[in-house]
């Protein structure tokens, strides 16, 4: 059921165009020669995420510059995350239905997942989740070295994974079958899982990737009380609202409170540990993103599934049948809601595709050294600034294949100087104006 809902929610809107960071990922991930893929582990674009770069390099080899293929990759990653989360739930000892509920809560969350699918750069969060849940499933089965390798893969996908060894060490030490913490298991897991962290830091330090003191101000950690308070409230909403609604609806339908047994309390505790660890870095960043919720959302999905399992266990057969019927209706209602939320991302991607198609006709003039000046529809809901940002020049270079292409946007984009853009300053230029979603030649 959750797989069908995900396909119905996102497959029709998949891969309409590239947006903002997509262009930098594609250009920065290009390789040549038999060892080209290895070179990606020595590069950075401010972030050190070589497995993300590898995925873009492979996509370009297979799909060229067709965005639909890249979108299919993101959708496949979400499906892989769903199977990985299911395997993790089963490794925890969850019944099939409970593990499937955790998968549903994660995959159908209104925040984060849709953006991770429809915005191609969102695959950073998906790769993080995929390798993290597989690492957890491996550790729960006693395969610590496999868990370590998967931890390293998660770190090479996104920075939040540096706390994954801590989360999994807590999981390893958490009581299982008794009320006592097993510190020995926790320390063994920590000793093994610190190895991928050391390897990751050694690889990262060979690049110029951001560090807390060298990152742009919006990626620099802050202790501002107002920022922290807003982040806590917003991320609580983005990661836990659906989980809380599911629990409350089941409680209302059954007219009872949950009575958690030992195993269910353990699942809930492990979920809380994952949720807190998942936000332990991003909660301090001034820049907010729903993509930051994808990783910790695994924890809230596990916690909600644990509570619902307790409620389900005490329900009668008739009540269970009613709950299953309600679940089917709820999932059916969520599909059009997700489709409605997709509109903004889809229209932005479609504008990107139209603008780049319109500029393809100016390739000869661009190759001759003329600058492209784009007169934006300032204040419009969908415009060049919101679609490309300061990566508009990268977008034109990618689309036309002209590495020296120069682009300027009027009115000037925010932080245009930091992005290396240059105003025309008397240079020969070809002018276009954005009108009703298309570029038209301007004098």
**Residue 146: pLDDT band with limits 50, 70, 90:** very high
Please tell me whether residues 306 and 431 are part of one structural domain: no
| Residue 22 belongs to a domain | no
At residue 76, φ and ψ (nearest 5 deg) are: -65, -35
The answer to whether residues 26 and 56 touch, using CB atoms and an 8 Å cutoff, is: yes
Same domain, 270 and 354: no
In a domain, 8, yes or no: no
Q: Is it the case that residue 213 has pLDDT exceeding 90?
A: no
Query: Would 17 be classed as within a structural domain?
Result: no
Distance between CA atoms of 22 and 32, rounded to whole angstroms? 20
- The pLDDT tens digits for 324-363 are 888 888 888 889 999 999 999 999 999 999 999 998 888 8
Q: Is residue 140 part of a domain?
A: yes
Q: Is the same domain home to 292 and 364?
A: no
Using pLDDT thresholds of 50, 70 and 90, give the confidence band for residue 185.
confident
Mean pLDDT score, 260-272: 92
- What the block records as the tokens of 9 is 């929610």
Is the domain of 72 the same as that of 123? Answer: yes
Average pLDDT, the chain: 92
- Contact call for residues 193 and 147 (beta carbons, < 8 A): yes
CA distance 107 to 82: 7
Same domain, 308 and 422: no
- Please tell me whether residues 423 and 293 are part of one structural domain: no
Give the pLDDT score at 59: 96
Give percent above pLDDT 70 in the chain. Answer: 99
pLDDT of residue 291: 94
Quote the pLDDT of residue 178: 66
Indicate whether 281 and 356 sit together in one domain: no
Listed residue (57, 181, 193, 76) closest to 123, CA to CA: 76
User: Measured between alpha carbons, how far is residue 252 from residues 192, 248, 280 in Å?
Assistant: 45, 6, 33
Averaged pLDDT, 404-433? 87
Cβ 372 vs Cβ 395: under 8 Å: no
Question: Does residue 339 belong to any structural domain of this protein?
Answer: no
Instruction: Please indicate, yes or no, if residue 15 is contained in any of the structural domains.
Output: no
State the pTM of this model.
Answer: 0.94
Instruction: Answer yes or no: is 5 within a domain.
Output: no
* Distance from C-alpha of 3 to C-alpha of 267, rounded to nearest angstrom: 23
Domain that holds residue 410: 345-442
Task: Tell me the residue length of the chain.
Answer: 443
Residue 322 within any structural domain of the chain:
no
Is the domain of 390 the same as that of 271? no
**Residues of the chain with pLDDT > 90: what percent?**
69
Distance in angstroms (rounded) separating the CA atoms of residues 209 and 197:
16
Q: What is the pLDDT of residues 53-112, one digit of tens each?
A: 999 999 999 999 999 999 999 999 999 999 999 999 999 999 999 999 999 999 999 999
Number of domains in the chain: 2
For residue 275, what are the CA distances in angstroms to 160, 199, 287, 346, 435?
12, 25, 19, 30, 45
CA 221 to CA 235: how far, in whole Å? 16
Q: How confident is the model at residue 35 (pLDDT cuts 50, 70, 90)?
A: confident
pLDDT at 177: 67
Q: Are residues 158 and 271 both part of a single domain?
A: yes
Are 401 and 262 within one domain? no
């Amino acid at each position: 059921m959750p797989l069908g809902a995900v396909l119905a929610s996102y497959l029709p809107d998949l891969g309409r165009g590239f947006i903002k960071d997509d262009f930098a990922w594609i250009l920065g991930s290009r390789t040549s020669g038999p060892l080209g893929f290895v070179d990606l582990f020595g590069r950075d674009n401010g972030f050190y995420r070589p497995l993300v770069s590898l995925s873009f390099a492979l996509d370009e080899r297979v799909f060229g510059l067709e965005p639909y293929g890249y979108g299919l990759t993101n959708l496949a990653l979400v499906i892989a995350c769903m199977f990985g989360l299911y395997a993790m739930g089963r490794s925890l000892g969850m019944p099939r239905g409970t593990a499937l509920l955790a998968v549903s809560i994660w995959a159908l969350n209104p925040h984060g997942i849709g953006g991770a699918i429809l915005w191609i750069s969102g695959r950073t969060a998906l790769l993080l989740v995929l390798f993290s849940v597989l690492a957890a499933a491996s550790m729960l089965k006693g395969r610590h070295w496999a868990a370590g390798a998967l931890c390293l893969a998660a770190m090479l996908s996104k920075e939040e994974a540096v706390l994954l060894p801590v989360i999994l060490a807590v999981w390893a030490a958490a009581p299982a079958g008794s009320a006592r913490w097993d510190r020995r298991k926790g320390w063994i897991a920590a000793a093994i899982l610190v190895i991928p962290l050391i390897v990751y830091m050694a690889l990262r330090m060979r690049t110029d990737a951001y560090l807390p003191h060298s990152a742009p101000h919006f990626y620099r950690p802050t202790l501002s009380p107002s920022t922290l308070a807003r982040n806590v409230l917003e991320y609580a909403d983005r990661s836990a609202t659906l989980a809380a609604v599911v629990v409350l609806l089941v409680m209302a339908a059954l007219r009872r409170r949950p009575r958690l047994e030992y195993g269910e309390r353990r699942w809930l505790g492990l979920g809380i540990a994952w949720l807190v660890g998942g936000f332990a870095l991003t909660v301090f960043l001034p820049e907010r993103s729903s993509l930051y919720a994808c990783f910790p959302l695994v924890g809230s999905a596990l916690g909600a599934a644990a509570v619902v399992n307790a409620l389900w266990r005490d329900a009668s057969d008739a009540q269970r049948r009613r709950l299953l019927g309600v679940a089917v209706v709820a999932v059916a209602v969520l599909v059009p809601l997700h489709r409605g939320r997709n509109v903004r991302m889809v229209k932005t991607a479609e504008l990107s595709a139209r603008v780049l198609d319109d500029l393809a006709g100016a390739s000869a003039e661009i190759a001759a050294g003329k600058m492209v000046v784009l007169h934006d529809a300032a204040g419009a809901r969908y415009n060049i600034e919101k679609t490309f940002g300061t990566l508009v020049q990268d977008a034109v270079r990618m689309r036309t294949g002209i590495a020296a292409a120069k682009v300027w946007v009027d009115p000037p984009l925010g932080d245009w100087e930091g992005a290396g853009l240059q105003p025309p300053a008397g240079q020969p230029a070809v002018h276009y104006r954005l009108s009703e979603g298309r570029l038209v030649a301007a004098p």
